[in-house]
Amino acid sequence: MRILMTGGTAGIGLVAARRLLKDRALLAIGARRPDRAPADFSGRVDLKPLDLADLDQVRAFAARIAEGPPIDVLLLNAGLQNVSGGRSRQGYELTFAANHLAHHLLLRLLLPRMAPDGRIILTASGTHDPAEQTGMPPPRHADARRLAHPETDPDLDRSAGVAGRRAYSTSKLCNVMTARELARRLAGERPDLMVAAFDPGFTPGTGLARDYPFPLSLVFRFVLPLVVRGKRVSTPANSGRLLAQLAVDPRWAGARGDYIAVRGRGLESVPPSALAQDDEACARLWTDSEALTGPV
């Protein structure tokens, strides 16, 4: 089984990658620094350079991957939270560009390479849903052009930290909407493909808060795992195990744009936010994202 991952070098994705390797998957990972990948990947994982903050690298990566055999599982798990106003190589807001636009382009480039009954999974987040009250500023809209160029957004938050965190929850909304729109588009020509958005639950202990002020990133990595509990709270080990399960377990083969969330020790298919269920908004996000990333 050939599995292609982004975000397999740390946190939740690293746990999932190791699980999939145990199941003897042929694993390829796009990584920012292949030379710094975990030592146990050596000789077992096909590591290829990929920085999602640069759409040219996404195209080069996809071209290299397309040379190999068909892809059974495309696991788009990489994610970041930029709270310091960063931009991608193409000048788009960094979190939106890396978490959403780059994955949108990558999956469009690799769709023709998907094996029969293949799976496409995008890691999203409960922060996309205002009703979940996660403590993150929730998305206000999914207008790709305003998200790519936040300086044109009349509602932009004044604080860079708030704006960055809202850009994150919004990028995760875009992941959910992309999964739904992709499934709708595939219904005619590739109804065999499984498509899902994955919510790992609140999972402190990973590197996700690395761009936060240093004390806060330490709290996220070392303190919160000791003190937060709940059905929607998870650990990297638990969420990574469940992400690997979603990638291969026959139980989930019928997902067609479903939003599948970690709840305690298991996975549940749950409704996403109201905006994520707006089919017109999902279709618009898709075409606007195409315009921002270019033809394939």
Ligand X SMILES: NC(=O)c1ccc[n+]([C@@H]2O[C@H](COP(=O)([O-])OP(=O)(O)OC[C@H]3O[C@@H](n4cnc5c(N)ncnc54)[C@H](OP(=O)(O)O)[C@@H]3O)[C@@H](O)[C@H]2O)c1
* Residues near ligand X, by CB under 6 A: 6-7, 9-13, 31-33, 50-53, 77-80, 98, 123, 125, 200, 202-203, 206-208
**Where do we find the tokens 């920012």?**
32
Number of C-beta neighbours around residue 295 at 10 A? 6
Nearer to ligand X, 198 or 252 (CB): 198
Q: How far is the CB of 137 from ligand X (least distance, A)?
A: 15
Nearer to ligand X, 125 or 178 (CB): 125
DSSP for 102-167, written as a single string: HHHHHHHHHGGGEEEEEEEEEE--GGG-GGG--SSPPP----HHHHHSGGG-TT--SSHHHHHHHH
**Closest by alpha carbon to 288, among 95, 114, 112, 100?**
100
Q: How far is CA 155 from CA 72, 84, 172, 189, in A?
A: 41, 18, 19, 39
Nearer to ligand X, 31 or 186 (CB): 31
Q: How far is the CB of 180 from ligand X (least distance, A)?
A: 17
Nearer to ligand X, 115 or 209 (CB): 209
* C-alpha torsion sign, points 216, 218, 223, 229: positive
Nearer to ligand X, 76 or 190 (CB): 76
**Rounded CA separation 162/83 (Å):** 8
Nearer to ligand X, 106 or 282 (CB): 106
Q: How far is the CB of 78 from ligand X (least distance, A)?
A: 3
Please check whether residue 199 is in contact with residue 126, taking contact to mean a CB–CB distance below 8 angstroms.
yes
Please check whether residue 31 is in contact with residue 39, taking contact to mean a CB–CB distance below 8 angstroms.
no
Q: How far is the CB of 77 from ligand X (least distance, A)?
A: 5
Nearer to ligand X, 97 or 281 (CB): 97
Q: How far is the CB of 211 from ligand X (least distance, A)?
A: 10
* C-alpha torsion sign, points 42, 45, 48, 49: negative
Q: How far is the CB of 148 from ligand X (least distance, A)?
A: 16
Q: How far is the CB of 187 from ligand X (least distance, A)?
A: 26
Amino acid at 136: M
